[in-house]
Chains A and B, each alone.
Chain A
Amino acid sequence: MKIEGKVVRVFPSDTNTDEIIAGKYKYDELDLNKLARHTFESLDTHFYDDCKRLKDPILVAGANFGCGSSREQAPQVLKACGISCVIADSFARIFYRNGFNIGLPLVECESMSNNVTRGEMLNVDFGKGVIRSENQNAEYHFKPIPQFMQELLAKGGLMQYLDARGGFTD
């Protein structure tokens, strides 16, 4: 599985789920496409529009991305914004699990956030574990995404994956 897209933003370490989508909205709005308009609202009011202008935008962040609450709306709104993949130095545990569960690819690649800039075109190969930047003429390496997690992404998420397999096989 491969993705190619431009970096829409680079966020710092410890970006939390309240910043991704404020808790105050999640009780009111079940329509993720509407909720997505509030993504990163407290940090950056142009995030949604900028994402929509790009094809397969990529989000880059520092360490512990998605820390805080278990709200799945956080990866969901990123997906609804059109984000094709999040690359972070590291992810908070629940966010990481949620991302794959809903079919949003997440790549743990240390120090990417220090080296890339907004607007840069990246090519990400999940199976090989390589990110290529044409601008820099450089390659970055990460631990390849295991086969079953790539399948999960290909199926569109955990429920679809389990349904296809008929549940958990021990």
Chain B
Amino acid sequence: MKTISEKILSKRSGVDAASGDIVTVPVDLVFAHDGTLPLAIQELGRHPVKFPKSAVAFCDHASPSPSEKVSNVQTLMRQFAHTYGMDFYENGDGICHQIVLERYASPYKIIVGGDSHTCTHGALGAFATGMGSTDVASIMAYGKTWLKVPETVHVEVSGKLPKSVHSKDVFLELLSRITADGATYKALEFYGDTVETMSVESRATLSNMAIEAGAKVGMCAADEKVEAYLAHYGRGDEFTPLYADKDAIYVDEIRIRAETVVPMIAKPHKVDKVVPVTELEGQELDQVCIGSCTNGRIEDLRAAARILHGHRSKARLVVYPASRDVLLEALKEGVLETLLKAGASIGPPGCGFCIGRTVALGDGEVALSTQNRNFKGRMGNDTSFIYLSSPSTAAASAIEGKITDPRGLER
């Protein structure tokens, strides 16, 4: 009678764990990036990295480096990774979470990232959660961590999503119901035939945004889709099926009918200020951004291209593929050509606009982005305004230069 989180944490701690228990577990993968690793290196001090094969470093947040100071910080990271023989991802390789999905995450793994969106990897059945630099340092030094077994909220999504409505809209709908601290300290588990038919990429959007409701992890079952995803990346042998027990105990259950979900938008400056796109139609936009660890995957770029095909964007359009693989795929399929012809400026794989470190907004400017957060100042300017949406809504809005309902525009 266990939830997915309880199953993983029981198996990995060797203790029959239920929600509320504190367990010590080995950590299979610990990673951090240019925003969080430098502080972890300081915290580590003279401790060596105990299991360098389980530790990975990424230069993705301020990438490619926009200043001498950042370059020097990145040099420190490079030397650190080299000293211990850790995997190191360079500027332009992509966002940490996308690369971890492609190359490291799999069912039953315990993954700790020095980044709050580490919950993304619940889409592959990993117990993956974000922690701060000191936790990252302690795991690098000792190879283990403490975890409190979370209570779980069961989210059941059933039915068929309408055309141009995506998992992003489903999560925004959920957020409008439970708010930004509706799942604090808890696990979200996503079920239902809608989730079963979703690609792993779409599930990763759900898991990615779990933290926006305060959740510790956002879990999906590891089914044939996960098996196929791992096989595609040459990691079929890492697959183990993983489902919650039928009689698992949940603290809450939320039901969403997919047919009733519409394109949703989060208004500035909070993720849970969510309204249907129809309420905001006509809002002028300076910039439209497609990418991030939430919606920078190939299916997101495809969805945008299906709408942008043959059009020219009125808003400034910025596209950052989530990883080198995503960029290559977009190149092969002709998606890149469509986006370029639509007026997009294509950035190197990485966080790009999302944190405003390499692409910033001007004073009072308004942006619509496919990312996960719209806090004041998030995109590098305290006086700007950020709306959040799915890639389809972003693409439709780019064409008009105004917030636009994507339904009916997709080819």
Interface residues of A (CB under 8 A from B): 14, 16, 18-19, 22-24, 26-30, 42, 63-64, 67-73, 75-76, 90, 92-94, 97-98, 101-102, 157-159, 162, 167-168, 170
CB distance from A89 to the nearest CB of B (A): 10
* Assembled-state Cα–Cα distance A98/B357 (Å): 24
Q: Is the pair A23, B355 in contact by a Cβ cutoff of 8 Å?
A: yes
Which chain A positions have C-beta within 8 A of B275?
A: none
From B35, B133, B270, A14 is in contact (CB under 8 Å) with B270
A70 touches B130 (CB 8 A): yes
* Known A18-B378, A98-B134, A159-B43: A26·B181 in contact at CB below 8 Å: no
Say whether B184 faces chain A, with CB atoms less than 8 Å apart: yes
Number of interface residues of B (CB under 8 A): 53
Nearest-Cβ distance from residue A24 to partner chain B, whole angstroms: 6
Asked whether, in the complex, the Cβ of B377 is within 8 Å of the Cβ of A42, the reply is yes
For A167, the chain B residues whose CB sits under 8 A away are 141-142, 144
- Whether B38 contacts A70 by the Cβ 8 Å rule is no
Q: How far is the CA of A26 from the CA of B118 in the complex (A)?
A: 19
Nearest-Cβ distance from residue A48 to partner chain B, whole angstroms: 17
Collect the chain A residues with CB atoms within 8 Å of residue B216's CB.
Answer: 93
Of the candidates A30, A64, A68, the one whose C-beta lies within 8 Å of that of B73 is: A30
Q: Check A98 against B132 for contact (C-beta < 8 Å).
A: yes
Q: A23-B378, A64-B180 are in contact. Are A92 and B214 (CB under 8 A)?
A: yes
What is the distance, in angstroms, from B95's C-beta to the closest C-beta of chain A? Answer: 14
Taking A64-B181, A70-B114 as known contacts, 9 extra A-B pairs with beta carbons closer than 8 A to each other, sorted by chain A number, are A14-B180, A23-B356, A28-B70, A30-B42, A30-B73, A67-B214, A70-B115, A92-B184, A101-B134
Asked if A159 and B39 sit within 8 Å, CB to CB, the answer is: no
CA distance A157 to B232 in the complex (A): 43
Chain B contacts of A168 at CB under 8 A?
24, 142, 144-146
B260 at the interface (CB under 8 A from A): no
| B73 partner residues in chain A, CB cutoff 8 A | 27-28, 30
| CB proximity of B135 to chain A, nearest CB, Å | 6
Q: Are A22 and B377 in contact (CB under 8 A)?
A: yes
Contact of A90 among B38, B145, B181, B373 (CB under 8 A): B181
- Bound complex: CA A95 to CA B165 (Å): 33
Given A14-B270, A42-B377, A93-B185, A67-B180 contact (CB < 8 Å): yes
Contact (Cβ within 8 A) B380 A24 = yes
What separation, in Å, do the CA atoms of A158 and B141 have in the docked complex? 12
Q: Which residues of B contact A (CB under 8 A)?
A: 24, 34-36, 38-39, 42-45, 47, 61-62, 67, 69-70, 73, 113-116, 118, 130-135, 137-138, 141-142, 144-146, 180-181, 184-185, 214, 216, 270, 355-357, 360, 373, 375-378, 380, 382
- List 25 A–B pairs whose Cβ atoms lie within 8 Å, in order of A's numbering: A14-B181, A14-B270, A18-B377, A23-B357, A23-B377, A23-B378, A26-B35, A27-B61, A27-B69, A27-B70, A28-B70, A42-B376, A64-B180, A67-B180, A72-B39, A72-B134, A73-B39, A75-B132, A92-B214, A93-B216, A97-B131, A98-B131, A101-B134, A158-B134, A167-B144
What residue of chain A has the Cβ atom nearest to residue B13's Cβ? A170
Do the beta carbons of B382 and A72 come within 8 Å of each other? no
Report the minimum CB–CB distance from B167 to chain A (whole Å): 22
In the assembled complex, which residues on chain A have CB atoms less than 8 Å from the CB atom of B35? 23, 26-27, 71
A128 to B374, CA, bound (A): 39
Which of A30, A42, A69, A102 has the largest number of chain B CB atoms within 10 A?
Answer: A69
Contact (A63, B375) CB under 8 Å given A27-B62, A98-B134:
no
State in angstroms the CA–CA spacing of A29 and B68 once bound together.
11
Residues of B within 8 A of A16 (CB): 375
> Nearest Cβ in chain A — how far from B96, in angstroms?
12
- Contact A162–B375 (Cβ < 8 Å): no
B214: which of A27, A93, A98, A158 is its contact (CB, 8 Å)?
A: A93
